[in-house]
Amino acid sequence: MKVLLINLTDGGSGSGIAANSLVTELNNEGIEARLGVITKQTVNPNVFILPKKKKSLTFKIFNKFYNINKNIISKIFKIIPNPFKFRTSNEIFHSTNFHSDTDINWINNSDYDVINLHWINGVICNKDIAKITKPIVWTMHDSWPCCGAEHHPNLHENDIRWKNGYFRNNKPRTTKGFDLCRKVWKQKYKYLRNKNIYFTAPTKWESDILKSSYLFKNNKCFTIPNIINHQIFKPKDKENLKKLFNIPDNKIILGFGAAYDIDNPNSLKGGNQLIQLLQKLDKNKYFLVIFGTVSTNFISKLAIDYFSSGFISNQTILSNLYNMCDIFINPSHVESMSYTSLEAASCGVPTIAFNVSGITSIVLHKQTGWLATPYNVDELYEGIDWCLNNYEYLSENCLKKSEIDFNEQKTTQEMIKVYSSVLKD
């Protein structure tokens, strides 16, 4: 069996890490698999740049003209009032994916038996997916396949169009102008609704979203978690790492990411609730380890000492950061799975989070962490003390869950079964 995985990139994002890990494990299991991407970031020999379509002369001329004048064009559109412009209060990331450069003829003429799509925005548009003649498995990294332009259901506004269909009479009141989500959904309906696509989802929550959707409720969907490298994400010597990074050994270490967008209570990464939580802490008792970039606005609101890593692409360094922490904080409002909580658990670090979405597949209340009522900051704060008082029990459970439920070989074999099934269908 030969499998072609397709993703935007092979690193730097949850989907990139997941696809890269999967292609490696598939080859370890004897499956000839490669990962085609638009942007290659790693040295994995099984990853390559996807061939592009040949562009017409008209397109090349138009594209050159646009690239030369795009700043002027952008300024013109900003000056001219446009009542039809798409506007929404929905903070969820939106993608149209109307066009793509990948050469579909090359895919169809290749000797791959199965095509495993991952994050395909900017890689293959819906119209081109419909042209693929080979069996397709689509691995979901969010809910974009069955929504409109939004990458997750619009939970904050109780918008269930992903379930009922995107029509003129059910557009949320907060969506103004051109209904971009409906436009994208209609394209998916036109090209993909009747196509025999098998889906995999990393959590039951994400799988249930697809199975309830208007577009793909009749398609087969298998719940198979993303792969994590247990050779990298594992318990390490906490005290030595603290010395290495100059982290105090007499304070409780709290780790978190998404240190931005703190003024919006509906921020999907929970920055607003996070800063409220941190402002409750005793600065003499706690020290913060901030994963990734951090906004100056966020820093200005902190009164606690911290270490900020900046963007980290090296997974070994990332594992070291988790291992320095006593508790990981994940205040997200929606996650398909939550790689950060899984990485923390694989290092034996419990997570406190809100009881929402795919996070609950990893964080089990009072078993591998603490789940607070959405979006109750006081309950989140209560979880810190509970986790500290039950740390050894939680840490042991985290390691067991990671090793059993997210076992690399088990997960890879489940994917191989799906490939075999779609070939027989």
CATH number of residue 285's parent domain: 3.40.50.2000
Classify residue 174: in a domain, yes or no: yes
Q: What is the pTM of this model?
A: 0.93
Omega before residue 393 within 30° of 0, cis: no
What pLDDT shows up at residue 82?
A: 61
What pLDDT shows up at residue 312?
A: 87
Amino acid, res. 372: A
Q: Which of 300, 305, 348, 301 is nearest to 323 (CA)?
A: 348
Q: Contact at 8 Å (CB) between 150 and 181?
A: yes
| 250 vs 323: CA distance, rounded Å | 16
Q: Contact at 8 Å (CB) between 224 and 415?
A: yes
| 221 vs 138: CA distance, rounded Å | 9
What pLDDT shows up at residue 59?
A: 63
What pLDDT shows up at residue 118?
A: 98
Q: Do 116 and 256 fall into the same domain?
A: no
The answer on pLDDT for 84 being more than 80 is no
Beta bridge mates, 327: 254
Q: Do 258 and 373 fall into the same domain?
A: yes
The answer on pLDDT for 218 being more than 90 is yes
Q: Do 206 and 323 fall into the same domain?
A: no
Mean pLDDT, residues 131-156: 96
Classify residue 233: in a domain, yes or no: no
Classify residue 232: in a domain, yes or no: no
Q: Contact at 8 Å (CB) between 123 and 6?
A: yes
Confidence of residue 255 (pLDDT cuts 50, 70, 90): very high
| 26 vs 8: CA distance, rounded Å | 19
Least confidently predicted of 21-25, 137-141, 178-182, 263-267: 263-267
Three-state DSSP state, 287: strand
Mean pLDDT, residues 141-168: 94
Phi, psi for residue 366 in degrees, rounded to 5: 60, 20
Mean pLDDT, residues 218-234: 97
The answer on pLDDT for 174 being more than 90 is no
Name the domain count of the chain. Answer: 2
Instruction: For residue 83, give every residue at least 6 positions away whose Cβ sits within 8 Å of its Cβ, in sequence order, or none.
Output: 177
Q: Which of 92, 215, 211, 213 is nearest to 150 (CA)?
A: 92
What pLDDT shows up at residue 311?
A: 85
Q: Do 274 and 371 fall into the same domain?
A: yes
What percent of the chain has pLDDT above 90?
79
The answer on pLDDT for 60 being more than 70 is no
Q: Do 162 and 47 fall into the same domain?
A: yes
Amino acid, res. 104: I
Q: Do 81 and 26 fall into the same domain?
A: yes
Mean pLDDT, residues 42-48: 97
The answer on pLDDT for 346 being more than 80 is yes
Write out pLDDT tens, residues 106-141.
999 999 999 999 999 999 999 999 999 999 999 999
Classify residue 23: in a domain, yes or no: yes
Mean pLDDT, residues 153-180: 91
| 117 vs 419: CA distance, rounded Å | 12
Which H helix or E strand runs over 421? Answer: helix 408-424
Q: Do 248 and 107 fall into the same domain?
A: no
What pLDDT shows up at residue 155?
A: 83
Most confidently modeled range among 258-262, 307-311, 320-324: 320-324
| 413 vs 364: CA distance, rounded Å | 25
Q: Which of 243, 413, 220, 252 is nearest to 320 (CA)?
A: 243
Classify residue 296: in a domain, yes or no: yes
Q: Do 15 and 127 fall into the same domain?
A: yes
Find the helix packing angle between 391-405 and 339-346, rounded to 10°. Answer: 110
Mean pLDDT, residues 300-320: 91
Query: Residue 401's Cα: distance from chain center in Å?
Result: 20
What pLDDT shows up at residue 80?
A: 58
Three-state DSSP state, 316: helix
Residue 284 exposed, middle or buried by CB count within 10 Å (0-12, 13-18, 19+): exposed
What pLDDT shows up at residue 75?
A: 66
Amino acid, res. 110: S
How many other CB atoms sit within 10 Å of the CB of residue 4?
22
Tell me the longest C-alpha to C-alpha distance in the chain. 68
DSSP track, 205-216: HHHHHHHT-TTT
Which H helix or E strand runs over 163? Answer: helix 161-164
Q: Do 131 and 106 fall into the same domain?
A: yes
Residues 236, 44, 22, CA angle at the centre, nearest 5°? 70
Q: Which two tokens stand for residue 66?
A: 């646009």
What pLDDT shows up at residue 58?
A: 67
The answer on pLDDT for 326 being more than 70 is yes
The answer on pLDDT for 234 being more than 70 is yes
What percent of the chain has pLDDT above 70?
95
Mean pLDDT, residues 408-414: 97
Classify residue 346: in a domain, yes or no: yes
Confidence of residue 74 (pLDDT cuts 50, 70, 90): low
Three-state DSSP state, 236: coil
Q: Contact at 8 Å (CB) between 362 and 337?
A: yes
Q: Do 175 and 53 fall into the same domain?
A: yes
What pLDDT shows up at residue 90?
A: 80
| 69 vs 294: CA distance, rounded Å | 33
Q: Do 399 and 414 fall into the same domain?
A: no
The answer on pLDDT for 77 being more than 60 is no
Classify residue 62: in a domain, yes or no: yes
Residues 187, 188, 189, CA angle at the centre, nearest 5°? 90
Mean pLDDT, residues 185-201: 97
Domain range enclosing 86: 2-227+408-424
| 28 vs 409: CA distance, rounded Å | 9
The answer on pLDDT for 386 being more than 60 is yes
What pLDDT shows up at residue 57?
A: 67
Q: Do 271 and 208 fall into the same domain?
A: no
The mean pLDDT value of the chain amounts to 93
Confidence of residue 76 (pLDDT cuts 50, 70, 90): low
Residues 300, 305, 306, CA angle at the centre, nearest 5°? 85
Torsion angle in degrees (nearest 10) through CA of 401, 143, 319, 262: -120
Classify residue 391: in a domain, yes or no: yes
Least confidently predicted of 76-90, 92-106, 363-377: 76-90
